[in-house]
Amino acid sequence: MLKKQTEKIEIPPKIVRESRIAIIRSEFNSQITESLERHCLKILLSAGIKRSQIKLYQVPGSLEIPVTAQRIAQKRRTDLIIALGAVIRGDTYHFELVANECARGCMDVSLKYGIPIIFEVLATYNSAQATKRAANDSNNKGREAAIAALKMLKVLDQLKK
């Protein structure tokens, strides 16, 4: 079993001052994705990242996340991208297509441009699972995305040296 990421991340002041983050949020299943975004922002801001250092983008669905990430990455003005979405299984295979292609697209962009994409596009079998992962508690996956982003900013800083 994996240990929950509950520790406070200490970020050197230089990283806090200079980091530029993009958050792409799918509007589909908005009750879930808005909660992910809210918790993600809360953690980033509590770590000292200023709101002006964070750009928010909303896209219609999770399949639009990779192309948006690509456009952001092409501009080279962002250190890290966070992808937030929720794909909930329905009666057809569409669920798997959306989840898989969104993940593949984000990985392709990340590797092509050398920009980490923290991937928190939930792929759940039902609404209850998605709601649980977007709850107002420490299990919120938006929170976990922010913690992973802060850790990656530290790694990126180390790689500059």
Is 42 exposed, middle or buried (CB count within 10 Å of its CB: 0-12, 13-18, 19+)? middle
Residue 102 falls within a domain, yes or no? yes
- Is 94 one of the catalytic residues? yes
Residue 88, marked binder: yes
CA–CA separation, 48 and 42 (whole Å): 10
What's the CATH code of the domain at 141?
3.40.50.960
Residue 133, marked binder: yes
CA–CA separation, 43 and 36 (whole Å): 11
What average pLDDT score do residues 28-50 get? 96
Domain encompassing residue 103? 20-160
Measured torsion, CA atoms of residues 111, 5, 131, 101, in degrees rounded to the nearest 10: 10
Residue 150, marked binder: no
Residue 7 falls within a domain, yes or no? no
Residues 71-115 have pLDDT tens digits of 999 999 999 999 999 999 988 878 899 999 999 999 999 999 999
Residue 4 falls within a domain, yes or no? no
Is the predicted pLDDT of residue 31 greater than 70, yes or no?
A: yes
Residue 70 falls within a domain, yes or no? yes
Q: Taking each helix axis from N to C terminus, what angle separates 65-75 and 94-113, rounded to the nearest 10 degrees? A: 10
Measured torsion, CA atoms of residues 39, 43, 48, 51, in degrees rounded to the nearest 10: -20
Does the reported pTM lie above 0.85? yes
Residues 108-161 have pLDDT tens digits of 999 999 999 999 999 999 999 999 999 989 999 999 999 999 999 999 988 887
Active-site entry in 4, 94, 104, 112: 94
Residue 3 falls within a domain, yes or no? no
Residue 62, marked binder: yes
Residue 12 falls within a domain, yes or no? no
Residue 75 falls within a domain, yes or no? yes
Residue 138 falls within a domain, yes or no? yes
Residue 144, marked binder: no
Number of domains in the chain: 1
Residue 27, marked binder: no
The pLDDT, as a whole number, for residue 14 is 82
The SS3 assignment for 68 reads helix
